[in-house]
Amino acid sequence: MTLLEARLARQHVRGSAGRLKRGLPSLLDRPVAGILFPVCVLALWELLVALGLVGGRLVPPPSRVLYTVYTLAASGELPTHIRVTLGRVLAGFALGTASGTLLGAATGYSARLARLFDPTLQALRAIPSIAWIPLFILWFGIFEASKITLIAVGVFFPVYLGVSGALVNVDRRIVEVGRIFRLSGFELIRRILLPAVLPDYVLALRAGLGLGWMFVVAAEFMGASEGLGYLLVDGQQLGKPDQIVASILIFAVIGKATDTALILLTAPFLRWQDNHRKDRRDA
């Protein structure tokens, strides 16, 4: 090999390495990067079962789980279970968000109301979710009202804490600026307090929605005959680990989908934010 050919070969290798280095970050900057990790985990899981390193009876491989999902979807059961569970979560989320926002705004804005209500609400927050089930069954029966109420309880507390804490932590100086400009009470809330608490409020809504999906499982243990929680119980009683894992994965996918929908719905209200990641998102 001549000296010129050797130089050209080194330049080619350096150029290929540079393209590889540039390609990986560009891939990670795309939304599709979010599926890389779960796909790798599922592929490793399938490989371990295929090699016999992990038992496939109690830990079914992804191929068998996906076949179970396909079977449930083809029979028409899966869309019904998803629709029922999603309806319960959305109803409980709406009820918990409305009550949590109102009480959180009241206790965050007024120190007197905080001293009156907050200790009781903090004590109720410490009660495990499963402890409410017998009481709600006695009050509302085993039908939809008790399930939606239990989900609403799970959503209420993160929303309440998020709104109340955000209002308490609003910078006093920007409130004083609003008063210097003689803003009315409504204008002070609309132009000062509301924008200041919106980022924390959105985080509280996301936390509440996540807990809503957690509480719906406990809710559907209360004598439900439909829903993804029912699929979990049915799989446990009939010894179907593939159905249990399939239900868990469906919970994960739909939960992530609703969280993404919430982010997209609230994004227009947060465009004014100027944080350290904005330049990288715009790039």
Task: Give mean pLDDT in consecutive 10-residue pieces for the chain, a chain of 283 residues.
Answer: 48 48 55 77 86 78 90 91 94 95 89 92 87 86 88 94 88 75 70 81 93 90 83 86 91 93 87 62 47
Q: Supply the pLDDT for residue 276.
A: 59
Query: Do 32 and 66 belong to one domain?
Result: no
Q: Give the number of residues written for the chain.
A: 283
- Please state the φ and ψ torsions of residue 224, each to the nearest 5 degrees: -75, 145
Tokens (6 digits) for 221: 């243990």
* Residue 57, in any domain of the structure: no
Q: Which helix or strand (DSSP H or E) is residue 225 part of?
A: none
Q: Total structural domains in the chain?
A: 2
Q: Supply the pLDDT for residue 60.
A: 86
Q: Supply the pLDDT for residue 186.
A: 67
In contact, 236 and 244? CB cutoff 8 Å: yes
Give the SS3 label for residue 143: coil
Query: Do 210 and 270 belong to one domain?
Result: yes
Tokens (6 digits) for 225: 């005959």
Q: Supply the pLDDT for residue 26.
A: 60
Q: Supply the pLDDT for residue 95.
A: 96
pTM of the full predicted structure? 0.80
Q: Supply the pLDDT for residue 202.
A: 92
Its domain, for residue 207, covers 62-282
Query: Do 9 and 133 belong to one domain?
Result: no
Query: Do 93 and 142 belong to one domain?
Result: yes
Query: Do 88 and 16 belong to one domain?
Result: no
Q: Supply the pLDDT for residue 20.
A: 43
Q: How many CB atoms lie within 10 A of CB 86?
A: 17
